[in-house]
Structure formats: structure tokens, C-alpha cells
Amino acid sequence: MNARLKPAKGAGRGPGKPFQKGQVANPLGGKAHNKDVKVVRKLTQKELSKVMAVILKGDTEELQEMREDPKSNVLTVWICAVALKAISRGDAQALNALLDRVVGRPQQNVKLSGAVNRPVTEEDVKKADEYRRKIQAEY
């Protein structure tokens, strides 16, 4: 090892490792993330399906009834609570997480074509602009 790269005794842990052993780099540890979204990702498909049917109908009263029903299991109560809270706050991220869990994310297909190892020409840019305008005109 090069003498320049050796840390002085007691001066950190070496190049690229400025923290002492046991020192936490992020003391908040991800608490900045939306807690509702984290928990929703762990929920089961079956429980979410029941509640999502009600959410998609837009019936907050029925969600409230499901949440307060003594026969509802804890997971259903919790899902209803998260959904009601997200709806009241207008939190699209939490609702999207619920939908992604139940329905699944839509598949994204990308089709690439053209010559390989060829620089983009002015003609390519013109064709792309024409295609973009055509797509915009359709929508």
C-alpha cells in the first residue's frame, strides 16, 4: 500500500471510509420516508383487494364502516385507516402504493430500433420531432 494512502493512527478508517466503526452515517435511518407507504408494501393481496374495491368505488363511508366493524381483522382495519388518511390528505403516493400492490404496476415496454454505433443525424432528429408531433396530435 502506498504510504500516502495509509491513514495516520486514529485518523478514520482509511481512504473512502471516514466513519469510525459503529458510527452511523444516517442517524434518522430512513424515517424521512412515508411510513404509510412502507407498511402498505408489506400487506397481503387478499386484504388489499377487499379494501381496494371499496376505494375504487369512492365510498369513504363504507371504508369507515369496515374500519369500525368489530368482525374486521386487524389488517383490514389498518388498510382502511391508511386509505382514509391518504384520501383525507390527498396523498396520491400512498394510494398508488395500495394500487400497485393489488393491481400491480403496468408493464412498460420500450422498443428500440435503428443502426448500432452510428451517430444521431439531423435527419434522425427531424423524424423524431415529426413522430412526437403526430403522437401529440392524437392525444
* pLDDT score of 80 more than 80: yes
Predicted local confidence at residue 138, as pLDDT: 82
Please report the pLDDT score of residue 30 as a whole number.
Answer: 62
Q: Which residue would you say has higher pLDDT here, 92 or 31?
A: 92
Q: Report d(CA 40, CA 83) in Å as an integer.
A: 10
Question: Could you give the C-alpha distances from 77 to 7, 26, 81, 112, in angstroms and in order?
Answer: 55, 33, 6, 46
* 11-62 tens-digit pLDDT: 555 566 666 777 777 666 666 566 766 666 666 666 777 777 888 787 889 9
Q: How far apart are CA 80 and CA 67, in angstroms?
A: 6
The residue behind cell 412526437 is: 132
Q: Provide the whole-model pTM.
A: 0.43
